[in-house]
A and B are shown apart, each in its own frame.
Chain A
């Protein structure tokens, strides 16, 4: 997030796109509702009537996969009506002419047609956002998990820049990170082309710095992403996977293919707290301690670094992930100097400018947001104030709308989109062990519009078969107008009736993120 969560309570208008906030990030959802209670206007753009849609002043129920058309449409209206921030565009941005040229092609009537919304609602939403002084945009996987995900994110940034809403209190571009420490895992350089703090592997200076600090020669070529690594198993390029605390055999797209790939591996190491779907296929399983059994830090979606603390002993012989990795490294012939989470964090701080001022000692008193380059630096609640990382001016990166890779046709006439529900988390490794939660929601289901349900003779509660070109699953039907006709929704949490047996593994060319949010499917009574 460019800004901080607590700022939303002061907002004049809030734009939520591709985020089911009250279910997937409930405590931010609650704060958005607090803002609405204080009089903030709310615009929600989503293919489903999510709970937050009921709080919205304008709900844009868009067709899955049409975010970029919508965002371009909003910018079209804002430019046409002269509502953009001329001074900001002039002084702090580059490439306005190119943006203007692209969004010119998105008049409200065309956008309304593509997105399946009322053009007047689009205009009203554009005016609300542009005219509000404090207006944050929140987005999540509904924007990113598309074959055009990167362009979607750029389009959000374009919109915020156009209206002068980056680098200001109560505004910004605010991605909601899904997992507790996904921000931290990125910051720590668990990315094929980056060391910590996004220092590039391809940059010889950065590489030399880490070679010196670590006392070894480091590989020069950026590596493979998760999605590319799974593909590389196919042609024998990747033979061994070491997986720490992940369950790709439920979270990967096109699971049947992933499963086949994993079975081809020569050696699979899984380190986890439970015997997950992935661990069941492993050659060796290492038992790990969970968050309550170890010390360390997590970095949240607003870049705030916070402590976790050991409260209970780990069960049996389970060990903290850092202890296990430390042991493996030692046996591979590499001896670490740091020998506790506190010392490891000190090593991170010494190599990572944005974490330079963060230490266990300081975190006892305050929880700063990075960049926090030195012990006396207060941290950075708002990014890009007065200056962007590329310099004084931000560059507009306009993009045209491209339909999702797979469109419905006669054979597979429905669009399947996936997401989360309030009562479960990711692959249910943790929440699935809570019987109370399972009693509220314990089985996979598919949401289907009453018109479609009638067409295929499906009643709520009936078992139905959902099929795509990649697989089929049998789940309960939930007949509801939360989804429009032509669209079905499934949560991806459940192993039995796994939505990811159906999803499309086509990738965004830049971010290599799969298109979980749109694929063609069909349903029938089972």
Chain B
């Protein structure tokens, strides 16, 4: 263990803990752009700098390990003025048309500019922007909103391990692009959307992103309904409708999702959803009340049970439904119908 003080508060942490992690533990807020906690520190955005007594320069808290006796200050005048400079440099080349940006409200550049009182940049715009790429079915890429934090590049290469996005060129010409300047739709992109999920600004945004503002939605932690991996995710809900999905960190998923988990939520609100019980009358399925339908079901089961015994009835449970529902279905077949003819689609 290592003992240190942060903003005058003593704290003991495991060896190897970064200053940023120690701050998180104490509940001290440190601004970051490039930090992705699932991956090794990148240390490129310089927004997380703190002052360490005795050190000549400001230290990046995401990549500096805590040391014995260290005295850290997270919000000195020197720190604040440095962070302002970082924001100004990023703003210089940023398209600040925030009214029409889907990221308004969740954009970290916007949030920090407000917090640090930066209303405009002293620096001139210094490079032209690469054209937008709106070729993906699911998201848009607007390089004029990119702050080169590389979160998208790292999630694509190191977590999704798909190697679609990379930094191109050097120095002031650096930008995030695809091999041979391809469009997303012509590349090896698998539309997992993890780059969109981690983008701190409006550079990579869901096509449906303009349908809500972040303050209008509630988040509900749940488990993906598709394959057996069991990824954890948050449903974004506005006015009783699912309007988006964000990955969460779970035992099975390191903060990433696939194309189905991230984007294929439209079925929830789809107009084809069944909304009323149906009973076949005169050869056609026709709407019925729950009472009618449930009586019809039980009378049908009872009639066949009386005529042919309980084993003339079989029940298929569902690998899509919950444990509790499957348990109850199994119990119904065995305890209420009286047959062991219960199975599900594990084999199919």
Chain A interface residues toward B at CB < 8 A: 4-6, 22, 24-28, 30-31, 33-34, 36-37, 144-145, 176-193, 195-196, 201, 210, 214, 216, 218-219, 221-227, 229, 232, 237-246, 248, 251-253, 266-267, 269, 272-275, 279-280, 282-288, 290-294, 296-302, 304-313, 315-322, 324-329, 331-334, 336, 341, 344-345, 347-348, 367, 369, 422-423, 425, 429-431, 433-437, 439-440, 511-514
Contact = CB atoms under 8 A, between A and B. Distances in A.
A242 B277 contact: no
B315 interface: yes
Interface centre among A181, A219, A241 (most CB of B within 10 A): A181
A240 B322 contact: no
A324 to B, nearest CB: 8
B147 interface: no
B275 A191 contact: no
Contacts of B116: none
Interface centre among B228, B257, B308 (most CB of A within 10 A): B228
Contacts of B337: 332
B343 A191 contact: yes
B136 to A, nearest CB: 9
B124 interface: no
A226 B317 CA distance: 10
B230 A244 contact: no
Contact of B278 (A176, A284, A331): A284
B114 interface: no
Contact of A27 (B157, B252, B278, B329): B252
B195 interface: no
A306 B250 contact: yes
A430 B343 contact: no
B259 A219 contact: no
Nearest to A366: B251
A26 B240 contact: no
Given A30-B159, A239-B304, A188 B223 contact: no
Contacts of B221: 307, 309
A220 B236 CA distance: 47
Contact of A318 (B275, B303, B327): B275
A287 B324 contact: no
Contacts of A28: 229, 252
B344 A311 contact: no
13 contacts: A27-B252, A181-B321, A181-B323, A243-B315, A248-B345, A284-B300, A285-B279, A292-B225, A312-B268, A317-B276, A422-B190, A434-B263, A436-B207
Given A216-B335, A292-B242, A322-B322, 9 more contacts: A4-B251, A184-B323, A192-B343, A284-B297, A298-B323, A306-B232, A320-B325, A369-B251, A430-B264
B325 A292 contact: no
B317 A190 contact: yes
A30 B256 contact: yes
Contact of B260 (A183, A216, A246, A431): A431
B237 A224 contact: no
Contact of A219 (B207, B250, B279, B338): B338
A225 B190 CA distance: 37
A321 B321 contact: yes
Given A6-B252, A223-B314, A300-B229, A308 B222 contact: yes
Contacts of A514: 347-348
A296 B241 contact: no
A512 B218 CA distance: 45
Contacts of B296: 283-284
Contacts of B258: 26-27, 30, 422
Contact of B272 (A288, A345, A433): A433
A287 B329 contact: no
Nearest to A278: B316
A243 B316 contact: yes
B329 A180 contact: no
Given A181-B321, A192-B340, A367-B250, A436 B304 contact: no
B64 to A, nearest CB: 24
A238 B337 CA distance: 14
Interface stretch (B14-22, B125-133, B287-295): B287-295
Given A180-B224, A282-B280, A514-B347, A27 B336 contact: no
B230 A241 contact: no
B223 A298 contact: yes
Given A191-B342, A328-B294, A290 B324 contact: no
A285 B277 contact: yes
Interface string B161-196: 110000000000000000000000000001110000
A271 to B, nearest CB: 8
A269 B235 CA distance: 31
Contact of A214 (B269, B274, B335, B342): B335
A237 B273 CA distance: 33
Contacts of A331: 294-295, 297-298
B299 to A, nearest CB: 9
Nearest to A55: B161
Contacts of B346: 182, 185-186, 191
B140 interface: no
A237 B138 CA distance: 49
A435 B340 CA distance: 41
A380 to B, nearest CB: 13
Nearest to B341: A223
A226 B319 contact: no
A264 B302 CA distance: 19
